[in-house]
């Protein structure tokens, strides 16, 4: 009866976890053999017969009959008088098979055995989950919000697998409710102890790339290739696309009539502004396209230092730099060039670094972050706007403006 109850419980466990019959039998036999080794010192002379579907378990110990008083190994040998209690016809030298009941292992051993079984089945289950999700790294996945915490959202998929969406992998405008479905890309899968940790990301450039594959048929079919994606999640992204078929306009196909094709992607990403750009192997042309919507007057590249000097009309400068410096920063990431912007017709200007004796380096670095690296580029901006776009105090900005103005008044 004990055998039946134990195996029945694991037969149900098998149904819940979808462990195949062969694997369950192997785990059961291995665990029972370990228990027998602890109890008897060896399991070599035991036969274990398991039928998890019916809840049948039989353990048989095989021993050789020896003369009374000549037993050297209780596990391998049985005295003639003991053997004849089982069957009166036994003689010295014959093999005796005797069934071992679970109760003979002892209560503590049975509890340990059960715990070991649970642990081994969980371990097998976790290994399969790990392998499954490891193959899905980089793919889009959908799961349901189960629990919302301060640092992460816990998601569950249809199989009950737990997926973590950390705060820093969420788009700033993301707002989740319990029970709603969330899409993201499986970023990393690791084993923490024996438990798989599955991390989802909505901020990864790969998420945007995979959304293009899902939403734009030509990308899915391979007619259009996404060459590179750069993002400031929730704010702005630039996607370089290419087609090997001259009859296909890759940008037009991705954007669609009046933005119809890309609209769903923009909405999924919290209204992230997405620039789709024609890829080219011509670096000069690529930098020019990457700075869109700004129109460039001229450009000079230093391929060794990976720097680009771009000349624009004054009214185009703010477009090139973009809100918060996002446009110029993403253009640099997309092309691999550090881009310096200069105004057309402005002969006299001074690099901010020339003022390092009066302005601290970290303050200069704050202006450079938003694409302002010359005195006049700073002076052309509204001081209050500079405070919003940088991490600088209003007093600091006013002091910098005063210093720069003095340079040109002199």
Residue recorded with tokens 């005797």:
98
Residue 373: pLDDT over 70: yes
**Domain of residue 220, CATH code:** 3.30.300.20
Rounded to an integer, the average pLDDT of 3-11 is 52
Better-predicted residue by pLDDT, 10 or 209: 209
**Domain of residue 54, CATH code:** 3.30.1480
Residue 20: pLDDT over 80: no
Task: Return the percentage of the chain with pLDDT > 70, whole number.
Answer: 89
Helix (H) or strand (E) holding 285: helix 283-290
- When divided into structural domains, the chain yields a total of 3
Distance, in Å, from the CA atom of 172 to the CA atom of 275, rounded to the nearest integer, reads 19
Better-predicted residue by pLDDT, 53 or 144: 144
Helix (H, G, I), strand (E, B) or coil at 138: coil
Please check whether residue 96 lies inside any domain of the structure. Answer: yes
Please check whether residue 140 lies inside any domain of the structure. Answer: yes
Residue 13: pLDDT over 60: no
Helix (H) or strand (E) holding 28: helix 21-40
Please check whether residue 365 lies inside any domain of the structure. Answer: no
Mean of pLDDT over the chain: 86
Rounded to an integer, the average pLDDT of 396-408 is 87
Which residue range forms the structural domain that includes residue 163? 136-201
- pLDDT score for 409: 66
Q: How confident is the model at residue 130 (pLDDT cuts 50, 70, 90)?
A: confident
* Residues 286-306 pLDDT 10s: 999 999 999 999 999 999 999
Within this chain, do residues 59 and 143 fall inside the same structural domain, yes or no?
Answer: no
Within this chain, do residues 194 and 212 fall inside the same structural domain, yes or no?
Answer: no
Count other C-beta atoms under 10 Å from residue 36's C-beta.
23
- pLDDT score for 4: 45
Within this chain, do residues 164 and 121 fall inside the same structural domain, yes or no?
Answer: no
Task: Return the percentage of the chain with pLDDT > 90, whole number.
Answer: 44
Within this chain, do residues 155 and 84 fall inside the same structural domain, yes or no?
Answer: no
């Amino acid at each position: 009866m004990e055998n039946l109850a134990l195996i029945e419980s694991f037969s149900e466990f098998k149904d819940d976890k979808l462990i195949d019959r062969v694997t369950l039998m192997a785990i059961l036999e291995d665990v029972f053999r370990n228990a027998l080794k602890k109890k008897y010192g060896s399991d070599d002379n035991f036969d274990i017969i398991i039928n998890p579907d019916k809840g049948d378990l039989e353990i048989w110990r095989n021993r050789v009959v020896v003369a009374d008083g000549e037993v050297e190994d209780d596990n391998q040998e049985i005295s003639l008088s003991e053997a004849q209690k089982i069957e009166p016809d036994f003689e010295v030298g014959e093999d005796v098979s005797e069934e071992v009941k679970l109760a003979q292992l002892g209560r503590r051993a049975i509890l340990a055995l059960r715990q070991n079984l649970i642990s081994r089945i969980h371990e097998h289950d976790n290994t399969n989950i790990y392998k499954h999700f490891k193959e899905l790294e980089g793919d889009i996945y959908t799961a349901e919000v189960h629990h919302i915490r301060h640092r992460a959202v816990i998601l569950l998929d249809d199989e009950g697998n737990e997926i973590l969406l950390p705060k820093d992998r969420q788009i700033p405008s993301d707002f989740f409710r319990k029970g709603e479905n969330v899409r993201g890309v499986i970023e990393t899968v690791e084993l923490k102890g024996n438990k798989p940790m599955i991390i989802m990301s909505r901020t990864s450039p790969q998420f945007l790339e995979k959304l293009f594959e899902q939403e734009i048929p030509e990308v899915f079919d391979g007619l259009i290739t996404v060459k590179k994606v750069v993002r400031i999640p929730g704010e702005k992204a630039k996607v370089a696309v290419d087609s090997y078929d001259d009859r296909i306009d890759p940008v037009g196909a991705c954007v669609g009539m009046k933005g119809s094709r890309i609209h769903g992607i923009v909405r999924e990403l919290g209204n992230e502004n997405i620039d789709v750009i024609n890829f080219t192997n011509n670096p000069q042309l690529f930098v020019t396209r990457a700075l869109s919507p700004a129109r460039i007057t001229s450009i000079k590249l230093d391929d060794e230092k990976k720097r680009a000097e771009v000349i624009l009309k004054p009214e185009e400068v703010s477009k090139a730099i973009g809100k918060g410096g996002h446009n110029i920063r993403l253009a640099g990431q997309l092309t691999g060039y550090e881009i310096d912007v200069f105004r057309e017709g402005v002969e006299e200007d001074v690099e901010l670094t020339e003022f390092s004796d009066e302005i601290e380096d970290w303050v200069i670095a704050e202006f450079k972050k938003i694409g302002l690296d010359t005195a006049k580029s700073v002076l052309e901006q509204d001081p209050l706007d500079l405070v919003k776009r940088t991490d600088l105090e209003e007093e600091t900005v006013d002091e910098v403006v005063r210093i720069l103005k003095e340079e040109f008044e002199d």
